[in-house]
Structure 1
Amino acid sequence: MASDKPSREQQSPEMIAFHSQYSALADTLSGNQSVILPFATHLYTNDIIDKTVHQNVQDSRNPPYERAVTILSAIESVKMKLLPEKTFRAVVLALRKIDLSMTANKLIEALEASGGTVPPDLVPQLSPNESRTSLPGDSQLPVLEDTEPDINDLMNFVAVHIVGDQWKMLANSLDFDEAEIESIAINNQDEVLECCRDLFNTWRSKAYPPYLWSELQTRLCSPTVKLNAVAQEIPKRREKQKEMDKKYEIYQHFDSPTIAVLMQKVGCEVSDKWRGIGSELGLSPSTLSTIGRKRGDDTLKIMEVFSKWQAQLTTPNTWSSVLIALSSPQVKERKLADIICSDLKK
C-alpha cells in the first residue's frame, strides 16, 4: 500500500528545511520552556495551529518536550503541507519574537540548503540573549560538567549576582509554578539571597529539572532570565574560590577555635551575617531556619551557629573553615579573614 506521506522530491523546500530542524527545535523549546506558550500563541494568532493545540500547550503539567512536540507536529502535519511559505514565515517570525533569532537563522540556512528562496524580510538576524540550548555547537559559553552543585557554590557563584525579581524568573525557568514561587517569596520575606537559597534547596529536593551545573547554565541563559554573564563567569569564579580555599588551608593546623574566641574575632564583628556564615559552615537550611525563628539579636544567633557547627562538625572544626566561610562571596568578609590570619600568625 502506498504511503500518504509525500516523498522528498514532492516536498516543498520549506517542509524539508523544517523537518531537518525538527529535533533541534524541540530541544531548544523544551530547554527554554518559558517561551513555549508565547511561541504557540504567536502561531495561534496567525492561524498556524488550532485552538485545541494551543489549549494543550497551556497545560504546564505536561513535560516541556511533550508541549514542544505538540506544536511542531501540528505545524508539520497540517499547515506546512498546505501553506508551506506562509507557515515557514510565521514560524521564523514567532521564533524571533520570543528572542530565539539564532534558532530562526538555522531554519533559514536549512531553507537555503534545500533549494528554497529566502524572502528579503527573513534575512538572518542576531540575538545577544539567545539561550545556549538554541545554539548547537556554540563555543562562547564554557561547558559546565554534569555534576550536582553544592548549595554554597550556587549561593556564591549565582545568587550573589541576582537582583530584584530575577530569582523569580530563574525559578520559573526551573519549572517552578506560581504558587511555589509565591510561597518562597512569603517564607523569605522577599529577601533575594534567602529566596535563592530556598529555591536552590527546593530544586535539589525535587531533582527536576536535573540538578546539574549544566542544566543551571541552560536556564540562566534562557531568553526570560537573561543571566548569560553570570553563567559565563561561573567557571572562573569557581577556580578563584579554589585558590582562596587553598590560601587558607594552612590554618587547619592551628588550634581549633573556641566559641569564645570565635565570638571575639568574628561574632562581634559580623553578627548580622550569621546565616551566610552558618550556610558556609555546612549547617542545613532547617537548622538555620530554627535559629532564625528564635528570639534574640544577631549576636545570639551567630553564637548558636558556632555552637551547632562545633557540635555537628558539618565542616572541620578549624580556622581554615571559618576563614573560607568569611571570604566567600555570600559573606564578603575577606578583609576580616585576612585580619584574623595576621592575628593567628602572631
Structure 2
Amino acid sequence: MTPNPLRRAAAIIALSVLAFSGTAVAAQAATVEPSPSPTVTAEPTAEPTDEPTAEPTDEPTDEPTDEPTDEPTAEPTDEPTDEPTDEPTDEPTAEPTAGTVPVPALTVTQPTCNGLNVVNTGRIAIAPASTVDWVVFNEGGSLYAASEEDIEGSSENPGDAGQFDVAPGEYYVFAFPGDDKEFTDLGAWVLIEPEFDTTIFQTINITPFAGTCPVETQLTDATKGGFTSPANVTRGGTLVLSGLPAGAVLRGYLFSVPTDLGVATVAADGTLRLTVPAAVTVGTHRVALYRADGTLLGWQYVEVLAGGQLAVTGVDPVAGVLGGVVLVAAGGALVLARRRLAS
C-alpha cells in the first residue's frame, strides 16, 4: 500500500523536531556549570538530647509515665490510691468510716458443788459495750422465730449487762453491734451471715455435774497427805499449800463445819493460795483439796488463829496438844518429887 503523502510529511516533521530538541538540550547541558551557595550556615543543626527537657509540656501526654513524678499534681486524682498517703488530707472525707466495737465478755459457769451440795444449774453472764444488744435463747428458740418461753435473757437497753442461772442444755447467745458498727476480734464468736449481717453468736452447752461433792467421812488416816500445809493461818489470811502438781485446778474446803475456800490453780512452783474467811471458828481444822471431778486429793491439819494471836509455827496442832499434856504431867511429877524430898 502506498503511504499517503501527508502522513509522510508529518512524520518527517516530527523526526526533525525531535532531532532539533536533542541537539538543543545537549548544547544547553554543555554550557551550564553548577555553582556553590554563596554562604554556609553558621552552626550545624542540633542533635536530639538523650534526656527529655526539664520543663513539662503544655499539654498532658496521652499515656502515663512509667515512673511517678516527685511532686504531687495540682489537682487530686479521680480514683483513690492503693496505699494511704503519708499526710492527712486538708478536708475530711464525705462519709465517715464504719466504727467498730469489742465483742461482749461472756462467762459460763457449769454446775458444781456448793459446800457439800450439788448445784444443778449453770450460769451465763454477759457484759457488752455501750451500743451492743444481746439475747439468749434455749434450745427451743430461734433468732427468726421465738416465743417468750424460748428466751432465757436479753438486754433491755444497749450496753446492759446480765447474768442468769440456766438448767443443763444447749443455749444460743446473739449480740448486735448497733449504730452501724462492726465487731472486731471475734474470738469464739461467729458472724451469723458474714456477707450480709454484723450479728454474732455463740453456742453454749451447760452440762450436768457428774462429780461428787466433798464428804467429811472421806477424811481418814488413809487419805491424809497429798500436800504440805503450814501449822496455822490467821482468820481472813492466806493459806499457802505446797507440794502440788503445777497447773492443777483444785477446790479447797475446811472441816468440820464445811467451809468452801473456792477454786484456784496451782502455781508453777507447786503452791496453791486460798483465803480463809474471817468468820471461820478459831481452832484446829482440816483443810481438804478436791479435783475438778470432785475426787479427794488429800487433807492436812491446820490451826486457825484469831487476828493478833501468837502463831506456833512448824508444830502439828495435834502434836502440840499432846506435848502440852506431857508438860503438865512432867510439872506435876516435879512438884510431887519436891514434896517427897521436903518430907
TM-score w.r.t. length of structure 1: 0.22
Q: Which has the larger radius of gyration?
A: 2
Higher relative contact order (CA 8 A, sep 6+): 1
In proportion to residue count, which structure has more helix? Answer: 1
TM-score w.r.t. structure 2 length? Answer: 0.23
